[in-house]
Structure 1
Amino acid sequence: MALTPLVGLPTDRKLIGAHPFLAAGEKYVRAVVEGAGATPVLMPSLDPPLDPDAWLSRLDGLLLTGAVSNIEPHHYSDESSWEGNLHDPARDANTLALAPRAIAMGLPVLAICRGLQEVNVALGGRLHQKVHEVPGMMDHRENLEDLLEIQYGPSHDIDLAPGGLLASLAGAGRVRVNSLHGQGIARLADGLVVEATAPDGLVEAFRGTGPGFLLGVQWHPEWQVASNPFYLAIFRAFGDACRAWAGRRAAPPAPERIRTTA
Structure 2
Amino acid sequence: MNKLPPCLVWLPADHRLLGDQGHQMPFLMLGDKYARAVKVGAKAQPLLFPLADIGSIDELLSLVDGVMLTGSPSNVHPSHFNEEVADPSLPLDPVRDELTFALAKACVQQGVPLLGVCRGFQEINVAMGGSLHQQVQNEPGLMDHRESKSAPLEEQYAPSHAIIPVAGSALQAWAGGAAEVRVNSLHGQGIKRLAPGLEAMAHAPDGVVEAFAVKGAAAFAFAVQFHPEWRCWENPFYAAIFEAFGEACRARRSVRLQAADGPSGAPA
Superposition TM-score, scaled by structure 2 size: 0.91
- Which of 177, 200, 206 does residue 200 from structure 1 map onto? 206
Residue 247 of structure 1 corresponds to: 254
Q: Percent identity?
A: 50
- Which of 60, 78, 99 does residue 94 from structure 1 map onto? 99
- Which of 227, 231, 240 does residue 238 from structure 2 map onto? 231
Q: More displaced, 13-22 or 111-120?
A: 13-22
Q: AA paired with 1:178?
A: N
Which aligned segments of 4 or more residues in structure 1 are displaced greater than 6 angstroms?
Answer: none
Residue 17 of structure 2 corresponds to: 15
Distance 1:108 1:49 in 2: 18
List per-residue Cα deviations over 1:163-202 (Å, max 9, x = no partner). Answer: 0001111111210000000000001111111110000000
Give the drift of 1:2.
Answer: 5.6
Distance 2:211 2:195 in 1: 12
Distance 1:244 1:142 in 2: 36
Indicate yes or no: 2:172 matched with 1:170: no
Contact 1:2 1:243 in 2 (8 A): no
Contact 1:167 1:173 in 2 (8 A): yes
Residue 4 of structure 1 corresponds to: 6
- Which of 216, 221, 229 does residue 228 from structure 2 map onto? 221
Residue 195 of structure 2 corresponds to: 189
Q: AA paired with 1:224?
A: R
SS of equivalent to 2:39: helix
SS of equivalent to 1:10: coil
Contact 2:108 2:218 in 1 (8 A): no
Gaps of 5+ in 1: 256-262
Q: More displaced, 191-200 or 51-60?
A: 51-60
- Which of 137, 152, 159 does residue 147 from structure 1 map onto? 152
Distance 2:32 2:221 in 1: 22
RMSD, aligned CA = 1.4
| Mapping 1:100-115, distance limit 5 Å | 100-115=105-120
| Mapping 1:20-99, distance limit 5 Å | 20-45=26-51, 49-99=54-104
Indicate yes or no: 2:127 matched with 1:122: yes
Contact 2:75 2:90 in 1 (8 A): yes
Count how many residue pairs are aligned between Structure 1 and Structure 2: 254
Distance 1:200 1:87 in 2: 26
Superposition TM-score, scaled by structure 1 size: 0.93
List per-residue Cα deviations over 1:46-105 (Å, max 9, x = no partner). Answer: 6x6552112111110000000000011001123334220210111111111111011111
| Alpha-carbon spacing, 1:183–1:14, altered in 2? closer, same or farther (3 Å) | same
SS of equivalent to 2:162: strand
| Alpha-carbon spacing, 1:51–1:2, altered in 2? closer, same or farther (3 Å) | closer
Contact 1:45 1:91 in 2 (8 A): no
Give the drift of 1:254.
Answer: 3.3
List per-residue Cα deviations over 1:110-162 (Å, max 9, x = no partner). Answer: 00000000000000100000011111000000000000000000000000010
Contact 1:169 1:233 in 2 (8 A): yes
SS of equivalent to 2:48: strand
SS of equivalent to 1:51: helix
List per-residue Cα deviations over 1:218-252 (Å, max 9, x = no partner). Answer: 00000011100110000000000000000011013
